[in-house]
Amino acid sequence: MDLYLILGFLLCTNFGLSSAEFTAKYTGEKAYPLNSNATLKCQADPIPEANAFQTFWFHVGADGIPKKFAVSTSDPATSYVYNDAPDAVKGRFIMDNAEFLEIPEGPGTDSNKPQYKSGTAMATLVDVQVTDEGEYECEAEDTAKRATGRTRFNLNVYSIPTVSIEAITSSFNLRPIPPTEAPEIPEETPSETPTGEEVPAAEEVPTGDDAITSDDVAAGGSEGDMVAESTEAPITTTTPSGPEPTSVANCYINFVYPKPAIVSFTGYTANGASVSLGDIPTGETIQNADGTFNITSTLSLNVTKDLDQVQIECSVEVYKKVVSSELTPPYTVFYDPDNVQIKFSRNMPTVGDLVMIDCIANGNPLPITSLTLPTGEEVSVPYDLQVQKSSAGMYTCKVPSSEEDIEDNKDLFVHWTDKPTLTVQGNQIAEDTAIEANLGDTVELHCKAKGNPTPSFTWLKNGEPLSTGKTLTLKKVYFTNSAEYTCEARGAMTLSTKFQLEVKSGCTLEFTKTVSASSVKEGNAFVGLTCKAIGNPPCQVTIYDAEGNELKSGTSMVEYNQPSVEVQINPLVYMCEGKNNKNATSRNVKLDDPLVYGAEPQSSGLGAGVIIIIIILVALVLVGVPLAWYCIKKKNAPKAPPAEKDAEAPHETEKLKSEENDGNRA
């Protein structure tokens, strides 16, 4: 019967009896855990009608020939497992048409007329076993179109194992064994007994066949028969691990399937870093009744110091899943130090910084390290260093070792900047010094400072940047150059030195006047006087009148006003004086403006009418007195004869004129 099925299969396949457009595809999982339910799915394409779809299931034997063992249809009543199916499958292969049938529900539907859903035939192999693993086939058939499609798939089974690890030896000693020397036995010299008897010679120790052996001791003899009993405690040493590999850990993998090819071992250092210790073939293997395996794999290593404080785990990969053990306790490896490093918390500190210096050495147990400072002083670590300029230099860490002391040297480079020093006109000045310069002088300032790295220099005036460089030159200084100057040295740090510059001078005066019509009295004038004095220290300014009376005084500038000044016959003169500790100077101002100067002289304050009367009276006196005198004189003169009278007339007239002139002179 099977032969006919095979021939039919071959004929359908080779001679095109099945539709070339109808295919079957396996869409289920490819691997299932041991003892789980394996769901097998076979997809038909294109999807047949619900009542025209059936699927045949085949198992491919070791000979490669598929054997049909079940059929599933849209009707569960016609889905069954063949009687000659493998016993291991009977009762565990359950077919379900839910994936490719959809039963209509609700008003207006006929539940007796199912519709196709997805064209997938599904079967479940319950409680899958290792023996179920192998090749299978499914054949989908569209009975209405008499088309078939077949596909082959693998059913894989796996078992996730339990994995554990055990440290075989957890402590190793790599330190050299110190040589042990036999204790020296002092030679005995013959001596006389108290009675003078000779001491018998020591008996000869038997050799060869007569020698006492350890078996003799075990049989009841005593080692005291040969040597004296030692009172010292025995010396015990640990044999160091040699170059031969040493068994370190066993990895136990139980109930695993399929059997893994390798076991991986991974070490984890104290800081959490991982390192592969190797992938080794699986070791001793035992197969269990259910087909799974129990495996023991042993890790062997050439033990080095790198194993110290390492924890190990082992792992296997089963069907793309990695299963790991727990970690072993840390391994302990005793070894002499072979490395020490000096560490600075800051490699290039600045003066004032705090630097922690430590010596990091290996070895188990950890050795005692010492630190030697550049001064030669030896200190313990860690060491806190308050950095100074003198802290620069070489530092040395040293650790003792059984063969030769180990050390590490490292230079500490210190950044520093000195406080700048100032010179003015070649003379060094101290911080916050006040220096003086005369108005118009040239002042040359120099700034210098040392440092690592070499500092740069910046000049500030009253806190604001002024210039850069070591030298600052102020030419023809004026009062505005009076300020606080700062030199900043900028390097590893910024340090500064400042001073005060004062520009000094005597007083220089400016005395001005303002003359205008008075708003107080018509005909009078307003006079304003302003006196300014430029000098440092500030000048004391005073205004005086022509008689030297002080009118007003103040500092640097004084204003004096006269709201109403009468017109003067003579110009008024005022003086301004300015003085400080450098000099004293003065200036005058004359009020010769037309508003205050140019009046005619007036006498005693008499009115114009009086003055006219006086002028008339003076004229009358000047004319009337000579005339009265002439009349009196003429009246008292004797009468002359008529003839003589005419002759004397010119003479009298001349005399009268002469007297008038005298009167005028008077």
Q: Which residues contact 598 (CB under 8 A, 6 or more apart)?
A: 567, 569
pLDDT at 107 over 80: no
Q: How far is Cα of residue 660 from the mean position of the Cα atoms in its chain?
A: 126
The C-alpha atoms of residue 130 and residue 561 are separated, in whole angstroms, by: 128
477-506: pLDDT as tens digits: 999 999 999 999 999 899 999 999 999 999
Q: What is the DSSP letter of 306?
A: G
Report the DSSP pairing between strands 340-344 and 354-361.
Answer: antiparallel
251-304: pLDDT as tens digits: 999 999 999 999 999 999 999 999 999 999 988 999 999 999 999 999 999 999
Q: What is the DSSP letter of 48?
A: P
| CATH class given for the domain over 246-334 | mainly beta
pLDDT of residue 230: 33
- Per-residue tokens: 496: 């500064």
Beta carbons of 526 and 591 less than 8 angstroms apart? no
Q: In terms of pTM, does the model score above 0.75?
A: no
SS3 12: helix
Number of residues that make up the chain: 666
pLDDT at 654 over 50: no
The alpha-helical segments, DSSP class H, found in 130-230 are 214-218
Beta carbons of 270 and 262 less than 8 angstroms apart? no
The C-alpha atoms of residue 534 and residue 127 are separated, in whole angstroms, by: 116
Question: In this structure, what are the phi and psi dihedrals at residue 56, rounded to the nearest 5 degrees?
Answer: -110, 140
Q: Which residues contact 210 (CB under 8 A, 6 or more apart)?
A: none
Residue 537 preceded by cis peptide, ω within 30: yes
CB-neighbour burial class of residue 83 (10 A; exposed 0-12, middle 13-18, buried 19+): exposed
pLDDT of residue 1: 43
Max avg pLDDT among 3-7, 205-209, 660-664: 3-7
Confidence of residue 364 (pLDDT cuts 50, 70, 90): very high
Q: Which residues contact 231 (CB under 8 A, 6 or more apart)?
A: none
Gyration radius (Cα) of the chain, Å? 69
pLDDT at 12 over 50: no
Confidence of residue 106 (pLDDT cuts 50, 70, 90): low
pLDDT at 158 over 50: yes
The C-alpha atoms of residue 315 and residue 298 are separated, in whole angstroms, by: 12
Q: Which residues contact 553 (CB under 8 A, 6 or more apart)?
A: 540, 541, 542, 543
From 220-229, 405-414, 453-462, 567-576, the region with the lowest mean pLDDT:
220-229
The C-alpha atoms of residue 542 and residue 550 are separated, in whole angstroms, by: 7
410-460: pLDDT as tens digits: 999 999 999 999 999 888 988 888 889 999 999 999 999 999 999 999 999
pLDDT of residue 621: 73
Contacts 24+ apart (CB under 8 A), 2-6: 2/67, 5/68, 6/65
**Cα-based torsion angle of the residue sequence 41, 42, 47, 49 in order, rounded to the nearest 10 degrees:** -80
From 272-281, 326-335, 431-440, 551-560, the region with the lowest mean pLDDT:
431-440
- Structure-token match 């924890």, residue found: 311
Average pLDDT over residues 595-607: 64
pLDDT at 173 over 80: yes
Confidence of residue 599 (pLDDT cuts 50, 70, 90): low
Average pLDDT over residues 165-171: 95
Confidence of residue 648 (pLDDT cuts 50, 70, 90): very low
pLDDT of residue 225: 34
Report the DSSP pairing between strands 115-116 and 464-468.
Answer: unpaired
Q: What is the CATH number of domain 504-591?
A: 2.60.40.10
Beta carbons of 149 and 42 less than 8 angstroms apart? no
**CA separation, residue 188 to residues 181, 185, 205, 206 (Å):** 21, 9, 16, 20
Confidence of residue 6 (pLDDT cuts 50, 70, 90): very low
The C-alpha atoms of residue 230 and residue 223 are separated, in whole angstroms, by: 11
Q: CA-based angle 269:273:279, to the nearest 5?
A: 85
User: What is the CATH topology of the domain spanning 340-414?
Assistant: Immunoglobulin-like (2.60.40)
Confidence of residue 404 (pLDDT cuts 50, 70, 90): confident
pLDDT at 114 over 90: no
pLDDT of residue 223: 35
pLDDT of residue 176: 83
- Per-residue tokens: 617: 């009276």
Q: Is there a common fold for 246-334 and 340-414?
A: yes
Of the candidates 457, 463, 455, 456, which has an alpha carbon nearest to the alpha carbon of residue 485?
A: 463
Of the candidates 297, 296, 294, 304, which has an alpha carbon nearest to the alpha carbon of residue 280?
A: 297
pLDDT of residue 598: 78
From 219-228, 390-399, 529-538, 545-554, the region with the lowest mean pLDDT:
219-228
E-strand spans in 206-288?
A: 246-256, 262-268, 274-281, 284-287
Confidence of residue 626 (pLDDT cuts 50, 70, 90): confident
Return the bridge partners of 166, or none: 250
- Per-residue tokens: 168: 């075989």
Confidence of residue 607 (pLDDT cuts 50, 70, 90): low
Average pLDDT over residues 229-257: 66
Three-class SS of 483-531: EEEEEEEECCCEEEEEEEEEEEEEEEEEEEEEEEECCCCCCCEEEEEEE
36-93: pLDDT as tens digits: 999 999 999 998 877 788 899 999 998 999 999 999 887 777 889 999 888 888 889 9
- Per-residue tokens: 463: 């806190």
CB-neighbour burial class of residue 130 (10 A; exposed 0-12, middle 13-18, buried 19+): middle
Q: Which residues contact 24 (CB under 8 A, 6 or more apart)?
A: 42, 43, 44, 45, 55, 138, 139, 140, 148, 149, 150, 151
Give the domain ranges of the chain: 2-158, 246-334, 340-414, 417-502, 504-591, 608-665
E-strand spans in 566-660?
A: 572-579, 584-591
pLDDT at 185 over 60: no
Which tops the pLDDT comparison, 258 or 201? 258
Of the candidates 93, 35, 86, 29, which has an alpha carbon nearest to the alpha carbon of residue 62?
A: 86
pLDDT at 405 over 80: yes
Question: What percent of the chain clears pLDDT 90, i.e. is strictly above it?
Answer: 59
CATH architecture of 2-158: Sandwich (2.60)
Q: What's domain 417-502's superfamily in CATH?
A: Immunoglobulins (2.60.40.10)
The C-alpha atoms of residue 314 and residue 265 are separated, in whole angstroms, by: 4
pLDDT at 646 over 70: no
Confidence of residue 110 (pLDDT cuts 50, 70, 90): low
Separation of first and last alpha carbons in the chain? 199
Mean per-residue pLDDT of the chain = 81
Amino acid at 107: P
